[in-house]
Structure 1
Amino acid sequence: MSENTTVGRTTRRQLLARTGALGVSIAFAGNLTELFAGTAAAQNLGHTGYGPLVPDPDGLLDLPEGFSYRVLSREGDRLRSGEGPVPSNHDGMTALPGRGGRVHLVRNHENRADGRVPVPTVPGLTYDPAGKGGCTALTLDRHGHVLSERVAIAGTAVNCAGGPTPWGTWLTCEETEDRAGTNGYTKDHGFIFEVDPANPYASGAVPLTAMGRFQHEAIAVDPRRGVVYETEDAFEKPFGLFYRFLPHQPHGGLGTLRAGGRLQAMRVPGVPDLSSIQEPGASFGNIEWVDVPDPLAARTPIRHQDFGPKGITHAQKLEGCYWGGRSVYFVSSFAHSAEGSAADHYGQIWRYDPAARRLTLVIVFGPDTDVQLPGESPDNICLAPSGGLMVCEDGNGAQHVFGVTRHGEVYAMARNAQNLGTPEAPEWGEFAGVTFSPDGRTMYVNCYTPGTTFAVTGPWCT
């Protein structure tokens, strides 16, 4: 089948039965090739997985034969800096290159006001002492051993995802709109903060207010134009928006986003709700970007604000976001009409081409048997250097990291073996923050609960 042909549905249950990961029942429809357009990895996607998952005798992480993991960090253990315990709720993460082959991992902690293990407050790195969230940073040597682990920012709230910048920092996103005086907070929340994992004091704890105050999820930066794209995971109707931020200093470095810019929301003419689009390949030109009336949401949340007689385009559960080739891709994890969406789906991946001002529905996730089985609700997502995608699922039942090739072949890469329930009624925490080392030889991924950061090595296809 040619690379420009729309692929048919691939049944995860049928395919994963051959890899020993039964229990998954999701199909994909769409043009997988688009997800990898413009990437070197697109030429190297012939494999269909790495074989059956082997149960881990230590009960932590099941991987294919030949792969192994190392636990880099676990909630409740002591930070190597001595600042306090490793915080809980490990979420979004990135791996950035350091000097001498070192790798800097910067990791979000999605702690709310009642967070189990809060991020320790550190002078010079704390935004709001009442905030329990933030980021920690690990530095690894060229052999993957942990050299240091420290607080990178504290006093923030519900740090969900974010994204790396071209200049080697991390933008961490608060997934909340709580104001000062709510849940004990002393400052408003709902901002993006820049984090330098190599030197956290250089970035400090300064909210990037011009980038908006809303329930942020993830970001992706256009490396040529410097535009920052932002997703909003709003929990109630009207659902979130897809944004772009036009910085006043688009080609700067650490701290330049503080200079401000314009925040705009995407309007798809004639489409008030993205969930109403169900056919992979559906494409819309002349996408409009509308200035946000009040980015700080001083009185009204942005998604409730007046965008004029044409309105604005909403979508439920906007989450993962990444830049690939010449386009930005973003994920809608699901849409439920019973909760107010125009239609139901079990996951979409959209592609926006800035040069063409065109939005395309690339992939639709859909169940082919029992929707209660795992596999629905794609969340954090990244391009694998060996080709394809790695997707963290956030649904019911067993929790996996899945690989997806451009031909729609799906395989289980990892399964969480940490049972939070009982043998009779097992429960597993979701995966989050999947990312790869700069050399492509190590996959890093978090287990959200109990907070655990893994480094996975093995015979990655190259």
Structure 2
Amino acid sequence: MPAFEPVPESAPESVPGPVSPATSPRSATRREVLARTGALGAGIAFTGALTELFTGTAAAQPPGHSGYGPLVPDPGGLLDLPEGFRYRVLSREGEPLRSGEGPVPSNHDGMSAFPGRHGRVHLVRNHENRVTGRIPVPTVEGLTYDPAGKGGCTALTLDGRGRVLSERVAIAGTAVNCAGGPTPWNTWLTCEETEDKAGTNGYTKDHGFIFEVDPEDPHRTGAVPLTAMGRFQHEAIAVDPRRGVVYETEDAFERPFGLFYRFLPNKPLGGRGSLRAGGRLQAMRVPGVPDLSSIQQTGTSFDHVEWVDVPDPLATTTPIRLQDFGPRGSTHAQKLEGCYWGGAGVCFVSSFARGADGSAADHYGQIWRYDPERRRLTLVIVFGPDTDVQLPGESPDNICLAPSGGLMVCEDGGGAQHVYGVTRRGEVYPMARGRNNIGTPEEPEWGEFAGVTFSPDGDTMYVNCYAPGTTFAVTGPWRR
């Protein structure tokens, strides 16, 4: 039996159109949703079927909690949480790394938690530093890809009580490390969100790659780009734990916007270092849908999704999204961000779309789910305010599954910044709010949240504030 099922390069020419839900959900207003969830004044308005993210169906779920109550102002001025929850600051930018390699780098972004021996937890954290990053990731021998790169990852090891035992550089010399994702063999794939080539911005090597990071011993993986997985403005990845297929999102900034990819490894599920053996990179094509933003009704599905080989994964002369995918092209979307595996499918986020930028239609955030068994793509959730775009609740970014069911969503929009929970019943509740004003009293500003993840035992939520770079550990009555 093969490690993953062979999939044809494309589906037959004759394919059905979109499949609309039997009963289309009414688009609730922001005030209606927030009134239902007890979060009036700070929440997400959305429509959709959350169970699709977990089971692939829209079956009703039993009643569950709708949150942990209102957020309590933090006297420390950093993080508001519901009553009964508390946080610990694990690390802040500018403080000395415990390894002595230099200061903690800035721009904390994507992150994941991995189990260690004797109850320990390993955190791998991205630093989305560009050439002008405030505090670069220190260069370390054997872990540095390009000395001119300011980005990379740091790794923290925590003991069974959540205390930081070590903090060190995990990879350096990369650029704009935005998100990524964990592998089934407990390594982290960090993604460069750039297409800069050698000679641009002082770089000595091409950038726009994925790198594998071993959270326990980064020297085992080193700083080797996984070139077969493509060179583009990467955002996040998710691995199919049964087939070994790796799904990748592209957060391109200009039209034509990014693509949704899959990578078919030559050695699927082969463990640490196996992705260096190469494979085949393909882009998604939804027949008749050149731009996902044109789909607005939650529950709309497309069967027989096609996958087309990428002509030049290294983008030697032409960015991948501009390459020739044949007369029927490929399917694009603006701001493709979070990507994760849930249930029997892969889910990915389009943070927003704006017609003024060149998208087919406007939206404030979507979650799509692809079922590889059925080759079916479904629009599951649409986020966004119905009236006041200055209110929070738009631009979902990093997302993870919560141990008690549902989602945790990092907001990356204007105004106050939140981590929201979304129950499997579709109820929205505020989980955290940033309090550290990095603007002025007259024009306040708060750093976005990123990298939300949970400890292997589900008892602790870890989350980053992007600026000033801060990593929090949040504990409390999660199983209530």
TM-score interval, smaller chain:
over 0.9
User: Aligned equivalents of 1:48 and 1:217: distance in 2?
Assistant: 30
Shift of 1:19: 7.3
Residue 224 of structure 1 corresponds to which residue in structure 2?
Answer: 242
Residue 330 of structure 2 corresponds to which residue in structure 1?
Answer: 312
Q: Contact conserved, 1:105 with 1:138, CA < 8 A, in 2?
A: yes
User: 1:413 and 2:431 equivalent?
Assistant: yes
User: 1:89 and 2:107 equivalent?
Assistant: yes
Residue 386 of structure 2 corresponds to which residue in structure 1?
Answer: 368
Shift of 1:5: 7.5
User: 1:284 and 2:302 equivalent?
Assistant: yes
Q: Contact conserved, 1:18 with 1:52, CA < 8 A, in 2?
A: no
Residue 246 of structure 1 corresponds to which residue in structure 2?
Answer: 264
1:371-450 alignment, distance < 5 Å: 371-450=389-468
User: Aligned equivalents of 1:129 and 1:383: distance in 2?
Assistant: 36
User: 1:258 and 2:276 equivalent?
Assistant: yes
Return closer, same or farther for 1:413/1:10 CA change in 2, 3 Å cut-off.
farther
Return closer, same or farther for 1:45/1:174 CA change in 2, 3 Å cut-off.
farther
User: Aligned equivalents of 2:119 and 2:435: distance in 1?
Assistant: 31
Return closer, same or farther for 1:7/1:270 CA change in 2, 3 Å cut-off.
closer
Q: Amino acid of the residue matched to residue 453 of structure 2? A: T
Residue 359 of structure 1 corresponds to which residue in structure 2?
Answer: 377
Q: Contact conserved, 1:348 with 1:365, CA < 8 A, in 2?
A: yes
Shift of 1:33: 1.3
User: Aligned equivalents of 2:106 and 2:204: distance in 1?
Assistant: 22
Residue 157 of structure 2 corresponds to which residue in structure 1?
Answer: 139
User: Aligned equivalents of 1:421 and 1:276: distance in 2?
Assistant: 36
Residue 46 of structure 1 corresponds to which residue in structure 2?
Answer: 64
Residue 147 of structure 2 corresponds to which residue in structure 1?
Answer: 129
Shift of 1:36: 2.2
Return closer, same or farther for 1:44/1:433 CA change in 2, 3 Å cut-off.
farther
User: 1:170 and 2:174 equivalent?
Assistant: no
Among residues 87, 99, 120, which one is paired with 2:117 in the alignment?
A: 99
Q: Contact conserved, 1:11 with 1:26, CA < 8 A, in 2?
A: no
User: Aligned equivalents of 2:42 and 2:255: distance in 1?
Assistant: 30
User: 1:204 and 2:222 equivalent?
Assistant: yes
| Partner secondary structure for residue 258 of structure 1 | helix
| Partner secondary structure for residue 472 of structure 2 | strand
Tell me the alpha carbon deviations over residues 34-67 of structure 1, each in whole angstroms, 9 at most, x when there is no partner: 112279xx97760111111011001000000000
Q: Contact conserved, 1:173 with 1:193, CA < 8 A, in 2?
A: yes
| Partner secondary structure for residue 47 of structure 2 | strand
User: Aligned equivalents of 1:416 and 1:184: distance in 2?
Assistant: 35
Residue 456 of structure 1 corresponds to which residue in structure 2?
Answer: 474
| Partner secondary structure for residue 66 of structure 1 | coil
Unaligned ranges ≥5, structure 1:
none
CA RMSD of aligned residues (A): 1.7
Residue 110 of structure 1 corresponds to which residue in structure 2?
Answer: 128
| Partner secondary structure for residue 332 of structure 2 | coil
User: Aligned equivalents of 1:9 and 1:63: distance in 2?
Assistant: 29
| Partner secondary structure for residue 257 of structure 1 | helix
User: Aligned equivalents of 1:5 and 1:395: distance in 2?
Assistant: 31
Return closer, same or farther for 1:444/1:25 CA change in 2, 3 Å cut-off.
closer
Shift of 1:373: 1.5
Q: Contact conserved, 1:91 with 1:110, CA < 8 A, in 2?
A: yes
User: Aligned equivalents of 2:43 and 2:345: distance in 1?
Assistant: 29
Return closer, same or farther for 1:423/1:239 CA change in 2, 3 Å cut-off.
same
| Partner secondary structure for residue 241 of structure 1 | strand
Q: Contact conserved, 1:430 with 1:449, CA < 8 A, in 2?
A: yes
User: Aligned equivalents of 1:45 and 1:330: distance in 2?
Assistant: 26
User: Aligned equivalents of 2:161 and 2:83: distance in 1?
Assistant: 21
Residue 49 of structure 2 corresponds to which residue in structure 1?
Answer: 31
Q: Contact conserved, 1:191 with 1:208, CA < 8 A, in 2?
A: yes
| Partner secondary structure for residue 334 of structure 1 | coil
Q: Contact conserved, 1:437 with 1:443, CA < 8 A, in 2?
A: yes
User: Aligned equivalents of 2:43 and 2:182: distance in 1?
Assistant: 32
TM-score of the pair, normalised by structure 2:
0.92
Q: Which stretch of the first structure deviates more once superposed, 401-410 or 44-53? A: 44-53
User: Aligned equivalents of 1:320 and 1:112: distance in 2?
Assistant: 20
Q: Which stretch of the first structure deviates more once superposed, 366-375 or 341-350? A: 366-375
User: Aligned equivalents of 1:326 and 1:60: distance in 2?
Assistant: 37
User: 1:120 and 2:132 equivalent?
Assistant: no
User: Aligned equivalents of 1:44 and 1:118: distance in 2?
Assistant: 48
User: Aligned equivalents of 1:279 and 1:90: distance in 2?
Assistant: 34
User: Aligned equivalents of 1:19 and 1:303: distance in 2?
Assistant: 40
User: 1:153 and 2:174 equivalent?
Assistant: no
Q: Amino acid of the residue matched to residue 154 of structure 1? A: A
Shift of 1:384: 0.1
